[in-house]
Structures are given as structure tokens and as C-alpha cells.
Amino acid sequence: MKRIFLLTLVVLTFSFSFSITAQEVVDWKVEYNNIENTIELKAFIKNGWHLYSQHIENNVGPVPTSFTFKSSDDFQLFGQVMEPAPIKKYDENFEATLDFFEKEVVFLQKIEVSKNTQIEGKITFMVCNEAMCLPPVDYKFKIELIKN
């Protein structure tokens, strides 16, 4: 009975530790650049992991990165969120060639601000390494927008 309890405790501890690590694979920094009139959504990705593009060209399974902004009369978004050219490479997890980013990527959203306000939003993303993928995560943000 003691062994079963200890084994269960070890499994639960390992599972809990893994879930905390999973949340720390990507660090996001969201800022407003009032000179360029853009929202900069910067992802800092831990070594060995990759973050998927918004524009995955096939339907093999990974969740593409997506951005949601809460609308307001105090600003206007222009176009879609832009991203740099991704890495296009065979992904062992999905046995397909996919678009993704490693180490660091900056996504940009053009915006026009009519008065000082805040913008709230959510980034939905999924990361994988060579051996496994983590479930999609939502990262919520709120930043100040200062009219020029």
C-alpha cells in the first residue's frame, strides 16, 4: 500500500512539474509602437521548440497561431496580423512540411489610435519540439495605447 501511494505521489509530482514547464516554453511581450502605429507581439521561444505560423497550408493537425483583439471605437485595426517569412521544414510530429518559427518572432498589427485607451486581446498558440507537442494555450494581454 505504501509503494502504491509513493508511486502515485511521484506520478502526480512529475505531471504537475511538466505542466508548469509547458506554460513556460514561450514568453510573450506585447507593446504598442506609437511611431510605427503598430502593435508588436513578440514571442521568445525556448531552445528546441517551435511555434507555428498563422498560415499553415495543410490540415494535418497543428493549431496555427492566431490573434484576437477586443474591438473599440477608440482605435481601428488595419489589415491582418503580419508575420515574417517562417521556416518551412518537415515536422516529424505531423509527418508534413509546415511553417513555424524558432527562438524569436515578431508579429505586427497596424493600428490607428483616436485617443488614449487600452487594447485587450488573446494569442492562441501551439508549440512542439522534435518529440512531442503541447496543447494549445491562450495568452491574454492588455496594453496602453497613447495617441500621437
The domain locations on the chain are 27-145
Q: Kindly state the average pLDDT of the residues 70-86.
A: 97
CATH T-level topology, domain 27-145: Immunoglobulin-like (2.60.40)
Residue 60 confidence class, pLDDT cut points 50, 70, 90: confident
Q: Measure CA 27 to chain center.
A: 8
Cell readout for 115 is 485617443
Rounded to whole angstroms, how far apart are CA atoms 33 and 9?
A: 48
Sheet holding 50-52: strands in order across? 87-91, 96-102, 50-52, 127-128
In the chain the first and final C-alpha atoms are separated, in Å, by 68
How much is the mean pLDDT over the chain? 86
Residues 6+ apart with CB under 8 A from 11: none
Q: Is 103 left (phi over 0), alpha (psi -120 to 50) or beta?
A: left
Name the pTM for this structure. Answer: 0.83
Q: What is the pLDDT of residues 101-116, one digit of tens each?
A: 999 999 999 999 999 9
* Segment (H or E) for 24: none
